């Protein structure tokens, strides 16, 4: 499954936003392993993420995967900022976080997240069960 060439015009682009570099690496590995040709970009904070998005110009990522608890601009603020920007608000955003309770979930959804997942799942499960279906519904 993971080695098939995608039929899309350009390879899938995913932006990972998390201050934990080890976790980013694990998620990147899982994405590459499960989804094949994907372009994975990383940002270590909300500010970096916004900078990247602005600089990316016309090549917007197809999915943004973000954590809630980050230094500086936190995940919820990032969600709000992106949703308030007309050019960016159409990008689906999934919150992947160590917090796993109803209130955090509600807050994320309220601020515009399309999905919410807990880090207690393995990176592989996250990709196959959550991120994959969101980004490639036909897979």
Partner 1 sequence: MNDNRPKNHLTWCRRALRVSLQLRIVLILALLVIVIAAAGGSLYFGASREWLIQSDRQHAMGLASMLASGLRLKAVQQDRAELQRLLIACVEQEHIPYAAVLDLDGNVLIEASSGHDQAISTELKSLPVSLTSIDAQGQDTLAVAQPILITDDGERRLAGALRLVIDTSKSAERLAMVQQQVIFIASVVVLLAVPVGYLLVWRVLVQRLKRLVAVTRQLGRGDFAARARMKKNDEIGELACSFDTMAGEVARMQDELVQANQQLENKVIARTTELELSNRRIREEMSEKEDFLRAVSHDLNAPLRNIAGMATMLTTKWGDQLPEEVVERLQRIQTNVDAGESLIGELLELSRVRTRPEVRQLVDMRELIEQVGQTLEYELKARDIQLKIGLEMPRLYVGPNRLRQVFQNLIDNAVKYMHRDSGGRIEVSYRFSDDQHVFSVSDNGRGIAPDKQEQIFYVFRRIQDAATAEVDGKGVGLALVKAVVANYDGRAWVESQVGRGSTFYVSLSVDATQPPEQGADEPREEYNVEAVSHIAG
CA distance 121 to 119: 5
Minimum CB separation of residue 68 from partner 1 in Å reads: 6
At closest approach, how far in Å is the CB of 7 from partner 1?
27
Residue 96 to residue 85: CA distance in whole angstroms:
22
- Binding-site size, partner 1 (CB under 8 A): 23
- The one among 29, 37, 39, 48 contacting partner 1 by CB under 8 A: 29
Q: State the minimum distance, in angstroms, from the CB of residue 23 to partner 1.
A: 6
Contact in structure between 42 and 28 (CB atoms under 8 Å): yes
Q: 8 exposed, middle or buried (CB, 10 Å; 0-12, 13-18, 19+)? A: exposed
12 close to 37: Cβ distance less than 8 angstroms? yes
Nearer to partner 1, 28 or 60 (CB): 28
Q: Tokens for 84?
A: 């308030």
d(Cα 46, Cα 19) in Å, to the nearest integer? 9
Closest CB to partner 1 among residues 62, 67: 67
Quick note: the x/- pattern for partner 1 over 66-95, rule CB under 8 A, is --xx----x-xx------------------
Q: Binding to partner 1 by residue 109, rule CB under 8 A?
A: no
Residues in the chain: 139
Contact positions vs partner 1 (CB under 8 A): 20, 22-23, 26, 29-30, 33, 68-69, 74, 76-77, 98-99, 101, 103-104, 107, 119-120, 122-124
């Amino acid at each position: 499954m993971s080695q098939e060439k995608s039929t899309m015009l350009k390879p899938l682009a995913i932006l990972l936003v998390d201050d934990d570099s080890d976790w980013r690496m694990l998620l990147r590995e899982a994405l590459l392993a499960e989804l094949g040709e994907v372009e994975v970009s990383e940002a270590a904070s909300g500010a970096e993420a916004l900078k990247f998005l602005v600089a990316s110009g016309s090549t917007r990522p197809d999915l943004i995967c973000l954590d809630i608890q980050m230094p500086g601009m936190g995940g919820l603020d990032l969600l709000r900022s992106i949703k308030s920007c007309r050019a960016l608000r159409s990008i689906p955003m999934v919150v992947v976080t160590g917090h796993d309770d109803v209130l955090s979930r509600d807050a994320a959804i309220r601020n515009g997240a399309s999905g919410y997942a807990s880090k207690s799942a393995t990176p592989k499960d996250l990709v196959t069960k959550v991120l994959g279906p969101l980004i490639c519904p036909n897979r």
